[in-house]
Amino acid sequence: MNCSNWETETKLPLVTSCKQAARLFSLSLERKLTIREYIVMRVHLFMCKTCTFYGNQVKALRAIFIRHEEVLSNTPVSSDDQLSDKAKMKIKKSLMSNDDLS
Amino acid sequence: MKPQYRESSEKSVSLDPEQWVDAYGDYLFRYAMMRLRNRDLAENIVQETFLAALKGRKSFGGRSAERTWMIGILKHKIIDHYRKDFRERPVTDLQVMQTDEEQTIDGFYDALENPKKYPKDWMPDQQAILNAKDFWEVFHGCLGYLPAKTAHAFTMRELDDMQTADICKELGISPTNLWVMLHRARLQLRECLERNWFDIKK
């Protein structure tokens, strides 16, 4: 699998739809856009207020998601969100038996 | 030599393996559940993580907090799990997946390629959200609406900050496959969060 082998959007009209603009926006988060792709996306965003909301929201959410581990360790555990006692016993047993071997 | 003050607090806790399960079990389990969404699978992978930690204990040497070290092992186990899962799929299966992603994306737009529901005007407050426990419940709920593979790809990209090329190698899919998955995930998650959080909390 060649992981740098990107398809490029060659037949883009200068004025494009919200659907196409959102695709280009996602693409811009994965690789550098071609000049044509970049201009087409910018032109759309310039004209379209809701797509600008969309882009800013997706970007802001990304900045939050990346910090999710801080939250994972702060949040208290709810009852259905923890290892069952049975599983804990099982794991403890397997740890003990493997520790003896080493 | 200068003393390393910054590391000392991280290093301090190092428990006996007998205490691991009680100290870290639930934390690792919650993380595994978020990623795997299957209790049995999550329990097994937590057990595997502890066993691997037991083996690697001597080489660990307290370079980071013990829990951080274990989460690292767990992440690798989860990636291994999905790697097998992806690789064992026939090519046609991946094509079906791709078609499904494209259809879902299409479903967000009308015939003129305008959004069926226009995004509303809101911006998330980063600090407030990091402190809001229920936001993360909503987020996990929304992530749960995605197919497990899509959620996994999205998680590696957006939560673990892995590079696109690495994820695509990991999953054995083309960059275009991956990009379409991520795009679908972004569209769907943004809308789900708007409907269930931002539109309500404003």
Q: What is the pLDDT of residue B185?
A: 97
So what's the pLDDT on residue B112? 92
8 Å CB contact of B114 and A69: no
Mean pLDDT calculated for residue range B129-154: 88
Cα–Cα distance for residue pair B53/B51, rounded to 1 Å: 5
Decide if B21 contacts A88 (C-beta within 8 A): yes
> Which residues of A1-102 form beta strands (DSSP E)?
none
Count interface pairs A-B at CB distance under 8 A. 161
pLDDT at B12: 47
Residue to mutate among B164, B184, B196, B198, with most A CBs inside 10 A, is B164
Lowest-confidence segment of B33-42, B72-81, B149-158 by average pLDDT: B33-42
For A58, the closest of B25, B164, B190 (CB atoms) is: B190
| pLDDT band with cut points at 50, 70 and 90 for residue A4 | confident
Helix (H, G, I), strand (E, B) or coil at A60: helix
Model pLDDT, residue B10: 45
User: Global pTM?
Assistant: 0.82
Name the band, by pLDDT with cuts 50, 70 and 90, for residue B121: very high
Closest partner CB to B186 (pick from A3, A58, A68): A58
The helices-and-strands tally (H runs, E runs) of chain B is 11, 0
- B15, two tokens: 């428990």
Cα B135 from Cα B141, distance rounded (Å): 10
Q: What is the pLDDT of residues A42-73, one digit of tens each?
A: 999 999 999 999 999 999 999 999 988 777 66
CATH class of B5-85: mainly alpha
Tens-place pLDDT, residues B70-119: 999 999 999 899 888 877 877 777 788 888 999 999 999 999 999 999 99
Q: Mean of the per-residue pLDDT values for chain B?
A: 86
For domain B90-201, the CATH class is: mainly alpha
Instruction: Point out the residue among A3, A72, A95 whose CB comes nearest to the CB of B175.
Output: A3
* For chain B, percent of residues with pLDDT exceeding 70: 92
Q: Coil, strand or helix: which one is B115?
A: strand
Position B6 confidence tier, pLDDT thresholds 50, 70, 90: very low
CA–CA distances in Å: residue B194 to residues A48, B188, B199: 19, 10, 5
Give me the residue from A19, A73, A99 closest to B113, CB to CB. Answer: A19
In single-letter form, the type of residue at position A63 comes to A
Q: How confident is the model at residue B19 (pLDDT cuts 50, 70, 90)?
A: confident
Longest dimension (CA), chain A: 69
Alpha carbon B7 to chain centroid, angstroms: 27
In the predicted structure, residue A27 carries a pLDDT above the cut 80: yes
Provide the pLDDT for residue A14. 85
Among chain A residues, CA nearest to B172 = A1
Q: What is the pLDDT of residue B195?
A: 95
A91 vs B172: CB contact, 8 Å cut-off? no
Residues B178-190 pLDDT 10s:
999 999 999 999 9
B85-B99-B169 Cα angle (round to 5) = 40
User: CA B144, CA B33: separation in Å to the nearest integer?
Assistant: 11
Please give the pLDDT value at position A37: 93
Domain spans in chain A, listed from the N-terminal domain onward = 9-67
The domain limits of chain B are 5-85, 90-201
- How far out from the chain centre does Cα A6 lie? 19
Mutation target among B13, B110, B136 for the A interface, most CBs of A within 10 A: B136
Question: What's the CA angle centered on B96, arms B157 and B196, to 5 degrees?
Answer: 50
Max CA separation in chain B (angstroms): 69
- pLDDT beyond 90 at B5: no
Residues in chain B within 8 Å Cβ distance of A69: 71, 159
Taking residues A18-45, what's their average pLDDT? 94
Domains B5-85 and B90-201 share a fold: no
Phi and psi torsions of B115, nearest 5°: -65, 140
**Is pLDDT of B4 > 60?**
no
Whether the pLDDT of residue B131 is over 90: the answer is no
B186 to chain A: which residues are within 8 Å by CB? Answer: 26, 58
Q: What six digits make up the tokens of B111?
A: 């015939």
